[in-house]
Amino acid sequence: MKVLFISQYFYPEVFKGNEIVFDFAQKGYDITVLTGKPNYPKGEFYEGYSFFGKKEETIKGVKIIRTPLFPRKSGKSIPLILNYLSFIWFSYFTVLFRIKEKYDVIFIQQLSPVTMALPGLWVKKKQKTPIILWVLDLWPESVIATTSLKKGKIIDLIEKLVRNIYAKSDVILVSSKSFIKSIQNKCENLNKDIQYFPNWAEDVFVNVRETSIEIPELPKGFNVMFAGNVGESQDFEAILDAAEKTKDKEINWVIVGDGRKLNWVKKEIKERSLNNVFPLGRYPLETMPHFFKEADAMLVALKDTPVFGITVPAKIQAYMASGKMILGMINGEGKDLINESKCGYAVAAEDSSSLSEKAIKLLNLSKKERNKMETNALEYYQNNFSKDNLFSKLENIFQNYSSS
């Protein structure tokens, strides 16, 4: 089967779609990727890539067609908008002149921006090929939650675009069950095929191997670790408030990751003398299981906005697959997931007081109680988010919607 995978982001950028592509290629699928030049998250082209260079390459037997784009730079408004628009502009010509093979199915990994789905619509119009759209981020809800745009012509235009993308998609997969209602409200076809297809943990968290990878030694005490993007959405204001409330306890707040908010975090640590907060910076994905192993509990947080209340951060699955206790400050489905699985404690978004209280409660658990939570995490993951089961489901969807 010939599959065209479309996403603005792809390897060496770290996103879930990478595993779909490489795993299905190993199964014998003939997969081509249409993507941009890698520059996420730091905003500069990765080594070996440039605006004009490396238009096509083959990695692990997968043909990758790269569209020029402007790097996102600092991620501020103008560079980010140029990054989004340039991918769409140049992708139009990529579809017109460089997509020459006929595909059986188009699979779109739809993150932000939603406009990255447009090349799939153009290929479908050209080839009459079915589209499978995997929605990992809701628009315009995400725009409303993370920018000053709350209503008006731009939001109306985005919603019209989203409705068109959903209408042209043959099946829509959602990473969160809570997305379903929003998508249904934007679909004129009341019988649109919408299916739950959640995130899973990367192989490095499931098949952990003993290696010689070295990581920094963690501070002595009870280590609560945040791993991932240090951005506006993750509510580091409240996280640092919770850290300040536990300064007299043996609780350390360890941050492994990078992002637009990291410099602000470092400044706050210094100004507030938060000697129990340790920003370690960004490390490669393959080192994460080693960091997780040394942590006592893993932290996930999102701000109190409607769209984040129906979002399940992918790091929850990685934490569970690693058999770790989870401390959450998050609303909706993510909060329910942590509490339902009994693998830790989740409090309401932006509630730093409750977060600090639950951190102290985890600290005071007996070894037996901690072990039980860790077992619950792993069992819940295996029963609900196994990659083998999810990929078998996806393979059936490919077969059912293939044009061949």
Sorted by where each begins, the domain ranges of the chain are 2-200+386-401, 204-384
- The pLDDT value recorded for residue 144 is 86
What distance in Å separates the CA atoms of residue 29 and residue 61, rounded to the nearest whole number?
Answer: 10
pTM over 0.85: no
Which two tokens mark 102? Answer: 């006929």
Mean pLDDT of the chain: 94
Distance of CA 9 to the CA centre of its chain: 11
Tokens of 46: 């990765």
SS (HEC) of the chain: CEEEEECCCCCCCCCCHHHHHHHHHHCCCEEEEEEECCCCCCCCCCCCCCCCCCCEEEECCEEEEEECCCCCCCCCHHHHHHHHHHHHHHHHHHHHHCCCCCCCEEEEEECCCHHHHHHHHHHHHHHCCCEEEEECCCCCHHHHHHCCCCCCHHHHHHHHHHHHHHHHCCEEEECCCCHHHHHHHCCCCCCCEEEECCCCCCHHHHCCCCCCCCCCCCCCCEEEEEECCCCCCCCHHHHHHHHHHCCCCCEEEEEECCCCCHHHHHHHHHHCCCCCEEEEECCCHHHHHHHHHHCCEEEEECCCCHHHHCCCCCHHHHHHHCCCEEEEECCHHHHHHHHHHCCEEEECCCCHHHHHHHHHHHHCCCHHHHHHHHHHHHHHHHHHCCHHHHHHHHHHHHHHHCCC
Give the pairing type, strands 2-6 and 105-110.
parallel
Domains 2-200+386-401 and 204-384 share a fold: yes
| Per-residue pLDDT at 339 exceeds 80 | yes
Interatomic CA distance for residues 202 and 228, integer angstroms: 14
pLDDT at 210: 66
Q: Tell me the C-alpha to C-alpha distance, in Å, between residue 237 and each of 42, 139, 262, 264, 295.
A: 22, 25, 11, 10, 22
Backbone angles phi, psi at 164, to 5 degrees: -65, -40
pLDDT in tens, 192-213: 999 999 999 988 898 776 667 7
- CB atoms closer than 10 angstroms to residue 351: 17
Report strand pairing: 30-36 vs 2-6.
parallel
Question: CA gyration radius for the chain?
Answer: 21
Degrees, nearest 5: CA angle 284-51-32? 70
Q: How confident is the model at residue 170 (pLDDT cuts 50, 70, 90)?
A: very high
**78-82, 273-277, 303-307 — which is least confidently predicted?**
303-307
CA geometry: angle 277, 278, 282, nearest 5 deg? 140
pLDDT digit string, tens, across residues 59-103: 999 999 999 999 999 878 899 999 999 999 999 999 999 999 999
Peptide bond into 140 cis (omega under 30): yes
Please give the single-letter amino acid code of residue 222.
F
Tens-digit pLDDT profile for residues 227-245: 999 988 999 999 999 999 9
pLDDT for 291 beyond 90? yes
What residues have CB less than 8 Å from 161, skipping those under 6 apart?
A: 114, 115
Q: Look up tokens 């969807």; give the residue.
A: 397
Angle 133-139-145 from CA coordinates, rounded to 5°: 145
pLDDT tens-digit profile of 383-403? 999 999 999 999 999 999 987
Q: What is the pLDDT of residue 74?
A: 81
pLDDT at 404: 61
Burial class (CB in 10 A: 0-12, 13-18, 19+), 281: exposed
Question: Which superfamily does CATH assign the domain made up of 204-384 to?
Answer: Glycogen Phosphorylase B; (3.40.50.2000)
388 CB-near residues (< 8 Å, 6+ apart)? none
Q: Which of 134-143, 147-156, 299-308, 352-361 has the highest mean pLDDT?
A: 352-361
Q: Does domain 2-200+386-401 have CATH number 3.40.50.2000?
A: yes
